Amino acid sequence: MNATAIPATVFDIRRIREDFPLLSRTVHGKPLVYFDNANTSQKPVSVIEAVNQHYREHNANVARAVHQLGEEATAAYEGARDKLARFINASSRNELILTSGTTQSINLVAYSYALPRLKPGDAILTTVMEHHANIVPWQLVAARSGATVKAAPINQRGELIVEEFVAMLTPEVKLACVTHVSNVLGTVNPVREIARECKKRGIPLLVDGSQAVPHRPVDVQALGCDFYALTGHKMLAPTGTGALWAKREHLEAMPPFFGGGEMIREVRFSGTTFAAPPHKFEAGTPNIAGFVGLGAALDYYQSVGFEAIHAWEQQLLGYATERLREIPGVRIFGEAKEKEPVISFLLEGAQATDMATLLDLQGIAVRSGHHCAHPLMQFYEVPATLRASLAFYNTREEVDAFIVALLKVRKLLM
């Protein structure tokens, strides 16, 4: 958690914050402190303007017209695919299916890849720390196929017990699924190690990368997984954007999940032939403006640089964790050796929702609840936690304001 300090000339937080207009607003008469970034990130001006410009100057449908506007819209939309392919180091742009987000991406794999292959007695392996999006789709296809879903355990520090996960990679397991970074704990899982063990056994691995891509460089080829799902709105882009990266051989073998326009070669009532991946999986009109915004978001990340982003966020995580530990009665959930800037906690004797409501009155935006991770809450034997999730545009001063507000809340509730 202790990263090397970043010189102000390299990482100018004041200048960066000027790029995010919403950060300057007030809430309940107090300056906003936005610590709900794991829920959704704020958007820089460049993303907002890219979407605005698309609708003002280039609005048309993609891949359906030869007129100038259609060509411009298609170039911008497909340009976002190219940028994203480079961003995660895909070997080909055609391995990248553009979706509405991680949830759709995982459901695509569940219904198009897993369901046709599952039979009674088979199993899907996931972990206790997963988001519901990496649990419920597997339960649905397991119920239809007669398969089961197994969950590998974690320890009290919120770390996956890797040897237990590996031991559960038994012959009946047909697919393994793991989050890259926990949305509740911030834990970074050793995906490369897990992928190696899966490959030894011939078991495909799907990775939920929603909470990883906003904070660290991701190289899908180096990770060695088979599927990687991500969400745009957590990484500065508009909502309704995301992607599924998959190895080419899987995409070639998978049948379409949705049917409609654009994903076909030829339609006859005697039968339909489908387009090659990725378009085989992209039926209908997509969120064109959203992906134009995603392309701008990727440009913004590249301009700042992940080395500087990661170092700054690790400084903030360490500082916020230390300050929280100073408050009597605070219990922190998830203290893995390697984690991203997410802190889930509770204050002894206080309800998470009450705390979040009172913090909001002080201008502090945090998340309370089960965070779409019921099994993880059950593991810690709590109904909910409070979650402060940070981003590279947050500051130490905001952490201090958060702590001051939390101390006020503590007095009110104790």
pLDDT (tens place) for every residue of the chain, 414 residues total: 444 455 444 579 999 999 999 999 999 999 999 999 999 999 999 999 999 999 999 999 998 788 999 999 999 999 999 999 999 999 999 999 999 999 999 999 999 999 999 999 999 999 999 999 999 999 999 999 999 999 999 999 999 999 999 999 999 999 999 999 999 999 999 999 999 999 999 999 999 999 999 999 999 999 999 999 999 999 999 999 999 999 999 999 999 988 888 888 888 899 888 989 999 999 999 999 999 999 999 999 999 999 999 999 999 999 999 999 999 999 999 999 999 999 999 999 999 999 999 999 999 999 999 999 999 999 999 999 999 999 999 999 999 999 999 999 998 887
Contacts of 148 (CB under 8 A, 6+ apart): 122, 123, 124, 142
Together in a domain, 381 and 248: no
Whether residue 297 sits in one domain with residue 201: yes
Residues 138 and 229 in one domain: yes
What tokens appear for 332 in the block? 């922190």
The strand pairing partners of 242, in sequence order, are: 99, 231
252, 285, 302 — which closes off a domain? Answer: 302
Is there a single domain that holds both residue 111 and residue 196?
Answer: yes
At 207-237, the pLDDT tens digits run 999 999 999 999 999 999 999 999 999 999 9
Rounded CA gap, 187 and 208, in Å? 13
Residues 6+ apart with CB under 8 A from 158: 129, 182, 185, 186, 187, 333, 334, 335, 336, 339
Work out whether strand 123-127 and strand 96-99 pair parallel, antiparallel, or are unpaired.
unpaired
Distance CA 53, CA 29 (A): 33
- Are 387 and 342 contacting, i.e. CB atoms less than 8 angstroms apart? yes
Dihedral over Cα of 160, 164, 166, 172: its sign: negative
In a domain, 40, yes or no: no
Is the entire prediction scored with pTM above 0.75?
yes
pLDDT tens-place string over residues 382-408: 999 999 999 999 999 999 999 999 999
Distance (Å, whole) CA 261 – CA 277: 14
CB of 290 closer than 8 Å to CB of 237: yes
Give yes or no: residues 298 and 318 share one domain: no
Instruction: Establish if 27 belongs to a structural domain.
Output: yes
Question: 191 and 207 in contact (C-beta within 8 Å)?
Answer: yes
Same domain, 343 and 387: yes
Q: How many domains does the chain have?
A: 2
What is the domain range of residue 247?
Answer: 48-302
336, 299, 298, 314: which is closest to 391 by C-alpha?
314
pLDDT for res 262:
83
**111 and 26 in a common domain:** no
Are 297 and 325 in the same domain? no
**Which residue pairs from 383-386 have beta carbons closer than 8 angstroms and sit at least 24 positions apart in sequence?**
383/352, 384/351, 384/352, 384/353, 385/184, 385/333, 385/344, 385/345, 385/346, 385/352, 386/344, 386/345, 386/346, 386/347, 386/352, 386/355, 386/356
Kindly state whether residues 281 and 233 are assigned to the same domain.
yes
Are residues 197 and 164 part of one domain? yes
Sign of CA dihedral 199, 200, 203, 207: negative
- How far, in Å, CA of 349 to CA of 272, rounded? 61
Residue 139 sits in the same domain as residue 19: no
Nearest-angstrom CA–CA distance, 139 and 150:
10
| pLDDT of 1 | 40
Q: Is residue 7 situated within a structural domain?
A: no
Mean pLDDT score of the chain: 95
Residue where one domain finishes, among candidates 302, 333, 367: 302
Q: Rounded distance, CA 84 to CA 90, Å?
A: 8
Residues 177, 198, 225, 372: which is the catalytic one? 372
Among the three residues 273, 302, 331, which one is the final residue of a domain in this structure?
Answer: 302
φ and ψ at 294, to 5 degrees?
Answer: -60, -40
337 in the same domain as 284: no
C-alpha distance from residue 152 to each of 96, 128, 283, 385 (Å): 29, 6, 35, 22
> Is 177 annotated as catalytic?
no
Quote the CA–CA distance of 193 and 270 in Å, as a whole number: 47
